[in-house]
A and B are shown apart, each in its own frame.
Chain A
Amino acid sequence: MESLVRLKNVTVRYRSNGRRYLTAVSNVDLGVSPGEFVAVVGRSGCGKTTLLKVVAGLIKPDEGEVAYSERFFNGSKKKIGVMFQSPLLLPWRNVLENILLPIEIIGEDPANYVERALILMERTGLRGFEYSYPWELSGGMQQRVALCRALIHRPQLLLLDEPFSSLDAITREEMWVLLESVFLYENYTTLLVTHDIREAVLLSDRVVVMSGKPGRVKTEVEIPFKRPRNISLQYSKEFNEYVAKIKSMLSE
């Protein structure tokens, strides 16, 4: 199947201390098919965030190229939704206004998206908080707002950079369930970068394992569990075999 986005032989170098170059990622080939949920796992500093930034168009690769499918991005403007480790909400805007920010950026009328925002808020358990301000919400709630904001403009590609790593274990599991349900409702093509192997196995169709210094794709593991996936899946024997297998690949 044609990839929605494909990295071909991508190498990225950072200049450190002015003259020495540090290779962040080296010769990475990675394709994400439409509707697929791909997770990239690796230790801290293995270049997985760099990879995500390349896909988002924030970093130009020094070698290789990023190819976006013309067919799926309808030629014109590619719509990407992003969510990072911190919610990055604007404190002068209430929850609803924060969620509608991407609409203003793509130059459409926010009024036409209020209904969709309310539906997303309903699904993420945020109803009733439309006019609250970010600082009035807990960390988990703030991340839900960030998720709604990432989805409001119906992006063709959703990029998640360790979105739940700053949350406590219980809230994190809630967010997994939430993301799974949203993924089923709207079926986004998703690229998730994480160091949490359980998170990757639970949510994704395919786990890309990276090794560090410089970052390379070590191997890929297909995750065959049927959707909708349940949080109790993580207690099954098969699930834990996948987790153990990926963990051993990471520590090699």
Chain B
Amino acid sequence: MGSSKDVKNVFSAVIVLLLTLAIWELSTYVVKIPRYVLPPPSSVIEATARYSNYLLENLLNTLAHAVAGLALAAVFSLLLSLLLAYSEVVREVVSPLVAGFNAIPRAALVPLLALWFGLGSLPRVLTSFLIAFYPILIPTLTAMVTVEKELWEMLVSFGASKKQILVKVAIPRSMPYFLSSLHMGLASALVGTVIAEMIASDRGLGYVILSSTSRLDTPLAFSCLTLLAFTAFSLSKILGVVEKRAVRWAYRVST
């Protein structure tokens, strides 16, 4: 961590990014692409500065809903995988239902959610939850139900019950998978929130993107995209730190 190699890597990544932006900036002038089709980076920065308060307010709004959806998805997935890991019968009945539900394009549910719950927070949190739970559930459940046969037999020989095996082995062994699936869940939760905002909301970055493009204010839409990418990236990094600390053993890091 923090070695000179890391510093070098970050440095070269920044150089590549700046170069890309420079080429982009120049080409919009050289080729004369209209600003409402592809805005030069300078205009995106300008729009970000001009609307900074408005953008911050909407970013925080989007973030709050995505995090709420993710938290809900995490808790739900953990509880459901426990139940499914405990009972094979329930697993066989419920698994196809969950997989079938996952096959529904969740964006298509937003109008219904808006019909039932209005234009407030609930449809956004729910959409984010509905998209985010599956990528968390599957790895967690798989880790719980794939306890090695030999280990299982050893525990049973010692007199362990199914519940004890679940608590002492299945849950701890699933934690690295659960935590790493939160990265995927986070990305999905943001997608869910933004989609819901575009369909049925009057705030949040999804709404800002929709309203700005309808006014042909493309720089502002790009500004929203950049903010979303940056937020998702930062949150994922924070998650990574938490993950490495919480399940040190999975990375075989000696203390």
Contacts and interface: CB of A to CB of B under 8 A. Distances in A.
Interface of A: 53, 56-58, 77, 79-82, 84, 86, 88, 90-92, 101-102, 104-106, 133, 135-136, 153, 159
B172 interface: yes
A133 B249 contact: yes
A104 B155 CA distance: 11
Contacts of B155: 105
Given A86-B150, A88-B151, A105 B159 contact: yes
B159 A79 contact: yes
B46 interface: no
28 contacts: A53-B153, A56-B153, A58-B156, A58-B157, A80-B157, A80-B159, A81-B158, A82-B158, A86-B150, A88-B148, A88-B150, A88-B151, A88-B154, A90-B168, A90-B173, A91-B250, A91-B252, A92-B172, A92-B173, A92-B250, A101-B158, A105-B155, A105-B168, A133-B252, A135-B252, A136-B254, A153-B158, A159-B157
Interface of B: 148, 150-151, 153-160, 164, 168-169, 172-173, 175, 247, 249-250, 252, 254
B73 to A, nearest CB: 24
Contacts of A135: 249, 252
A106 B154 contact: no
B109 to A, nearest CB: 38
Given A92-B172, A105-B168, A84 B150 contact: yes
A109 B4 CA distance: 48
Contacts of B154: 82, 84, 88
A25 B245 CA distance: 49
Contacts, number: 60
A90 B164 CA distance: 14
A102 B254 CA distance: 25
Contact of A58 (B151, B153, B172, B249): B153
Contacts of A105: 155, 158-160, 164, 168
B249 A102 contact: no
Nearest to A80: B157
Contact of A106 (B158, B168, B172, B254): B158
A38 B116 CA distance: 71
Nearest to A82: B157
Contact of A104 (B168, B175, B249): B168
A57 B157 contact: yes
A81 B154 CA distance: 9
Determine which residue in A53, A79, A82 has the highest number of CB atoms from chain B within 10 A of its CB, and name it: A82
Contact of B247 (A53, A57, A92): A92
A121 B155 CA distance: 21
B172 A56 contact: no
A106 B155 CA distance: 11
Nearest to B153: A58
Determine which residue in B158, B249, B254 has the highest number of CB atoms from chain A within 10 A of its CB, and name it: B158
Nearest to A153: B158
A88 B247 CA distance: 19
